[in-house]
Amino acid sequence: MIKKILNLLKYWGKLKTRVNHIFTNLVSLQKKYMLPQNTGFSKLSKNEKINWITTTYFSNPIESEQLVKQYWNTDAAIQKLHDEFIENTLTNFYLPLGVAPNFVINKKAYTIPMVIEESSVVAAASKSAKFWLTRGGFKASVLGTEKIGHVHFTYLGEHKKLATWFSIKKEQFYSDVNYITKNMEKRGGGVLDIELINKTDKLEHYYQLHATFNTKDSMGANFINSCLEQFAKTLKHELADCDDFSAEEKDIQIIMCILSNFVPNCVVRAEVACKVEDLNEETNVDPLEFAEKFLKAVQIAEIEPYRAVTHNKGIMNGVDAVVLATGNDFRAVEAGAHAYASRNGSYSSLSHASIENGIFKFWLDIPLALGTVGGLTSLHPLVKFSLEMLGKPSAEELMQIVAVAGLAQNFAALRSLTTTGIQKGHMKMHINNILNQFKATKEEKEKVLSHFVDTTVSHSLVVDYLDVIRNNSDTTN
């Protein structure tokens, strides 16, 4: 028994030492990777920030600092502009800006700018554009432009009493935001409606002011949020002034005021259609067989969420690339698109297809809250370049262009998937990236590309073949 107790004490001692050791290591690690207390990182100069980062995290600080600075723009004014877009900027992070020509949308020709890191997306968009160019081009129409925002609040009284009060006071809410809305109204936009929504069946005492807006050519986030914050003030002070409400009823709590990125009434439709017999070209597949297989692929994405997510990802390849090139908020667009794809309770395809009376139709409905004024649109030189290339479109026209880029991308992906398979085209494009990664010379690239013309492509096969070429040239030298 005593022996057991002694063993236990010995074990306890060892455990304590081990825990102390881990704790000391953690503290010193934390010290190493943390700024000394009270040093505000944001207060450091750009050079000081780079210095701290490179000396703290990198085995070769000089090389890391050179790399970071290599991406600075040589024009100090352009660099300053980019530095000030966000906080704690160290350098720029490049993404390629490519273009997809040959788009005809509502009978107007466009070359579409695309910012994306994934190879073959721009090529696929261009290929789709060319395919539809000879089949009437793309059509697009805006189905709605309504944006939404909420004042989320709690109220402890009776719903009916608040609803009656709100219907009498509603005009006050409009007039109190007049100082924010008057310019927007001159452009044809403004607050469309404000509703009081009772959400107490979902969450105790929870209510909303659900407001709808038209923000014309601006994305409108600042406009909407400013209006909402004013609505919250009006709600609070007007209720406080009302003698019909008890102190408890007046004690509403504003939880938050914010726009919603779910915009199911700010939707655009992009579509293509042609005779089934015109769906020939290149694929060596009978047009009707192609159309029916394509339709089945879309139907699978409509009912199978696993496929729908990838199918929609392909659409977003086109959508995000144009959204980025035109300085819009791709996170907002992504969040809104996927919420829309699930609006009926199960995640589904954003695009649809039909074959009726010998006509093949393929279309996409997507919510897009975009702007062509405000935000980055007049600040980022390449955003200005992209918008000018598109003919300085209105927000509605840009919605149409972006939706078409998504549909074109989806068409290209489904066309490859249902005929040759995605890898043939995809990996051929990818070869170039692999070759660049291994610093292949021009001759090596030519040899590898011609070797893989009719051969299966994979990352390891390309690397192995490059090795063979290099070893052969070593032995022949």
Interface mask toward ligand MEV for 8-47; x: CB under 6 A? ----------------------------------------
* Minimum distance of ligand MEV from residue 76's CB (angstroms): 38
Place of tokens 């914010």: 258
Please give the residues from 286 up to 325 whose contact with ligand MEV meets the rule CB under 6 A.
Answer: 310-311, 313-314, 317
The two structure tokens encoding residue 74:
């040589």
Count residues binding ligand MEV (CB under 6 A): 9
In the three-class reduction of DSSP (H, G, I as helix; E, B as strand; rest coil), residue 149 is classed as strand
* Minimum distance of ligand MEV from residue 121's CB (angstroms): 7
Q: Does residue 251 contact residue 175 with C-beta atoms inside 8 Å?
A: no
The two structure tokens encoding residue 426:
């995809």
Q: How far apart are CA 63 and CA 59, in angstroms?
A: 9
* Minimum distance of ligand MEV from residue 340's CB (angstroms): 18
At 355, which amino acid appears?
A: I
Measured from the CB atom, is 129 or 413 closer to ligand MEV? Answer: 413
Of the candidates 366, 326, 325, the residue with the CA atom closest to the CA atom of residue 343: 366
- Mark whether 426 is an active-site residue: yes
- Mark whether 118 is an active-site residue: yes
Active-site pick, 46, 118, 170, 451: 118
Measured from the CB atom, is 119 or 225 closer to ligand MEV? Answer: 119
* Minimum distance of ligand MEV from residue 449's CB (angstroms): 22
Q: How far apart are CA 215 and CA 221, in angstroms?
A: 9
The two structure tokens encoding residue 323:
């959204």
Helices (H), 177-240: 178-186, 221-240
Active-site pick, 229, 329, 380, 447: 329
| Cα–Cα separations (whole angstroms), residue 411 to 118, 273, 327, 448 | 17, 12, 25, 29
Interface mask toward ligand MEV for 75-114; x: CB under 6 A? ----------------------------------------
* Minimum distance of ligand MEV from residue 369's CB (angstroms): 24
- Mark whether 313 is an active-site residue: yes
- List, in sequence order, every residue forming a beta bridge with 273; answer none if it has no partner: 361
- List, in sequence order, every residue forming a beta bridge with 140; answer none if it has no partner: 270
Indicate whether 422 belongs to the interface with ligand MEV (CB under 6 A): yes
Active-site pick, 139, 199, 250, 313: 313
At 297, which amino acid appears?
A: A
Residues serving a catalytic function are 118, 313, 329, 426
Name the site residues for ligand MEV (rule: CB under 6 A): 118, 310-311, 313-314, 317, 413, 417, 422
